[in-house]
Amino acid sequence: MQIECYAQRLLNPFRGVVHVIRYQSAEAVTTDGIEWDIYVSNDALLEDLGRAGRRAQVSDIRYGHWSAEKGLKRGPLYPSDDFKRLENMGAVAYEHLLKVHRDVPFKFRDPFELWLLDRDSQPLALLHSVRTDSETDTKPPLDWRAGMAAHEHFRTAAIPGLAGSAGEYLTRYVNGLASGVAQWFHRSDDGAGLGLHTLKGGDALRGRVLEAEAFAPLFIATAGMDPSHTRLVHDYFAWQAPWMLLLSHLDNGTRVALEAAACQQAESIEKHFRLYPVILDQPALQAARVEAALVRSQPRPNNQDEVMSMSYIELGSTESQDI
């Protein structure tokens, strides 16, 4: 009986990490280390489809929802022999969840990365990541996105006189630097990347090997940007700090800077801190958690869309590694 436990990034934009316990076609998943959803899918329906089945989708069935505080809440039950088989898979995933839920964060297992390339064919922005080579036949959108939350809430003073959403501006700016070509890479343990197939041209790039330094550790390359736009991107990283701290490959200088930035978003720290692989400034993050608890105890104001502007955080140099 093979059970896998792993973490995988949620991308384009980077918005966190999902931790997975997988047994056959049953999965228990969490994004906060507290609340777990357990799903089963009938993958047997794909067995007769051959390669065509790789693009087919099978609807997930909710086995249940679990937390240590409330226990298991079962999903709907179906009186069929096929469902009993799915039930058995879900039960295995659930039993293993009870044994290992305190072991999070799990190790990342998504080394195949799709990067949007700049006009020099260098990695510009990370678009997607998957666990296996067979999954690289997917065709996600080939434009980088700051995300709807950034369009609404991200603030910066990096670009004087900026009218409209800073998130929308950043989206246009990053895509304006792109060549329109995207390439899959297989990242090795030392951070280097073997170039695989490309999307929208660039076929001659297949087979190249780029060193770790070619891949931006925080997923957007700033080399060649002017100071204002470099600051814009770093402000965006600072706004993303509660999620960035979920990454396992950050060097100490970068992690300290991100922890300081994350403390401006105390409630987000409270949601994610259980999955942080390392915490360097324990007192600061604990103070943020106390602040989050106080906020939760107070009535909510009506102006929930107001978010404090992020001050410029100069992130330290990072060592790019495979995650």
pLDDT single digits (tens) 211-270: 999 999 999 999 999 999 999 999 999 999 999 999 999 999 999 999 999 999 999 999
Containing H/E element for 149?
A: helix 148-153
**Residue 288: half-sphere exposure toward Cβ, Cα within 13 Å:** 22
| Chain segment 297-318, per-residue pLDDT in tens | 777 655 443 333 333 344 444 3
pLDDT of residue 76: 82
Q: What is the pTM of this model?
A: 0.86
Model pLDDT, residue 305? 39
Cis before 123? omega within 30: no
Low-confidence ranges of the chain (pLDDT < 50): 45-49, 51-53, 55-57, 303-323
233's tokens: 């991107």
pLDDT score recorded for residue 271 = 92
Residue 295: its pLDDT value, please? 84
For 60, 63, 124, 239, the CA distances from 1, given in Å and listed in that order, are 22, 19, 41, 42
